[in-house]
Amino acid sequence: MNTIDALAKRLWQPAKQFAQEGINYQIYLTELSWLLWIKLIPGDTWLPHLPEGINWQTLQEKTGKEQLQFYQTLLTTLSQTYDSYTAGIFAQAQTQLTQTKHLTQLIYALEDVGAVAPEEWGELYEKLLQRYARSDNQSTYVIPPVALVDVMMFVMQPQAGELIHDPLVGAGNFLVAAEHYVKITSDELLDARAPIPAHNFIGMEHNLTWQRIALLHCFLNQIDAKGSLPVLWEDSLLANRHTLPPADVIFSMLVFANEQQAISNTSLALLRHSYQTLKMGGRAAVVLPDKVLRAMGPAQQIRRELLNTCNVHTILRLPHGIFYPHSIPVHILFFTRGEGTHRTWIYDLRSDLPSLGYHVQLSREHLVEFEQVYGEDPSGLSPRREDSTGRWKCFKREDFALQNDRLDLCWLQTDNDGEAEVKEFWEALDMTMQELEKVKDILQL
């Protein structure tokens, strides 16, 4: 049996060919996700029984147009089941495949998936999502690197019994990571015979396609729905905030791949939603684009409100290229609701660091020093002092006020931050990769 990484590579291999034939990467991921569920899940006896003949075996046996038609019948039937997870994953499901060869190719690619153990399903899907993230430069959504998600869990320390909220779930990376962290730490701290206190998720995603993907991501990682879905198909900004229970912890990726003004306004509104939804003493870690941290007008007003109502105790300035192929400079804000901000510690992981990208990706090693200086207290209350590298620096509330409450302060180099050089680097890398792909195609003839 191939390793999980090798299997994920095989499953993703047809994606580029499909894209050249008009089936974009997001459609490919969606169709692959549905077929992955259809192949894996019916054999798991704890799920509700599916109608007779509505299964992977029947799909495999059919050929040509009949197979494509049966596939759509499968999707429709699954959307009508009484199991909440299944109905959510297949809600309004309509295949975008129009050629029988594409469905046949996907079914063939999934040949070895049945041998994957259930405890490895989540790891397989995570690797597929990371391959998608490095492939699709047209998507509005950005998937965070695994190392970034892990460090946010490590320093924020979500606990059993806490309510965890993500107002813009995307692929569900934060909810899955929080579940893993809680389970691991609970197993270590509690007697194996003692029940783990219940904890809940409130994830919201307004895009139906991504809500489906997030649900499947949660399901394959064995996140129990407990009678309600961990990810709702709902717009956080249109939901009645006062009906939501106050959150103990918020994780979210408030970053979009394009730079439209409307998108920036959405990031701002979601930032405000985040700190207003926190309970008193609740903590948050949110990823935001640089432009939201320095823009004037409404952005400045929201930042001032954040600083006055929450303790923004830590900011992490991230390197360029962590979201390759997207060029989006970002920071992470760590804050606690309650007393306003008096001091903020900023860690600059961008200045004097080579740009990351396709080949050199963000790793845990890049973030080890930040983890150390952050300290053991998840609310940023551990004793801190500036380090010898100059990357870790403390600012007073007055320092932000003098800069129009900008939160992207940089003291190691100029504000242009090498953006032009980074753009040129990515363009050169893309051209090189295209030439290498052409050579590969020629050698395979």
Query: Which residue type is seen at 443?
Result: L
pLDDT at 84: 84
Side-by-side strand order, sheet with 163-166: 231-233, 200-205, 163-166, 247-253, 278-289, 330-337, 310-317, 343-348, 392-396
- Nearest CA to 328 among 374, 260, 251, 396? 260
Q: Give the residue, 190 or 360, on which the prediction is more confident.
A: 360
pLDDT at 262: 61
pLDDT at 225: 60
Kindly report, residue by residue over 21-48, the tens digit of the pLDDT. Answer: 999 999 999 999 999 999 988 766 555 5
Kindly report, residue by residue over 341-351, the tens digit of the pLDDT. Answer: 999 999 999 98
Judge contact between 303 and 274, C-beta under 8 A.
no
- Nearest CA to 369 among 433, 316, 326? 316
Mean pLDDT for the chain overall: 86
- CA gap 103, 99 in Å, rounded: 7
Say if residue 153's pLDDT is above 90: yes
Residues spanned by CATH 1.20.1260.30 within the chain?
Answer: 4-132
Instruction: Write down the pTM of the prediction.
Output: 0.88
CA atoms within 13 A on the CB side of 305: 14
Q: Please, what is the angle between helix 4-12 and helix 121-135, to 10°?
A: 40
Q: Is the dihedral angle over the CA atoms 323, 326, 330, 335 positive or is it negative?
A: negative
Share of the chain above pLDDT 70, in %: 86
Both structure tokens of 212: 């489906």
Query: Which residue type is seen at 113?
Result: V
89: helix, strand or coil: helix
Q: How confident is the model at residue 82 (pLDDT cuts 50, 70, 90)?
A: confident
pLDDT at 435: 54
Q: What is the CATH architecture assignment of 137-413?
A: 3-Layer(aba) Sandwich (3.40)
Q: How confident is the model at residue 259 (pLDDT cuts 50, 70, 90)?
A: low
Question: How far, rounded to the nearest angstrom, does the alpha carbon of residue 416 sit from its chain's CA centroid?
Answer: 28
Mention every residue, 6+ apart, whose C-beta is less than 8 A from residue 372: none
Kindly report, residue by residue over 415-428, the tens digit of the pLDDT. Answer: 444 454 554 555 55
Give the number of residues written for the chain: 445
Mean pLDDT, range 383-401, rounded to an integer: 92
Residues spanned by CATH 3.40.50.150 within the chain?
Answer: 137-413
Q: Give the residue, 47 or 186, on which the prediction is more confident.
A: 186
CATH number of 4-132: 1.20.1260.30
Judge contact between 416 and 290, C-beta under 8 A.
no
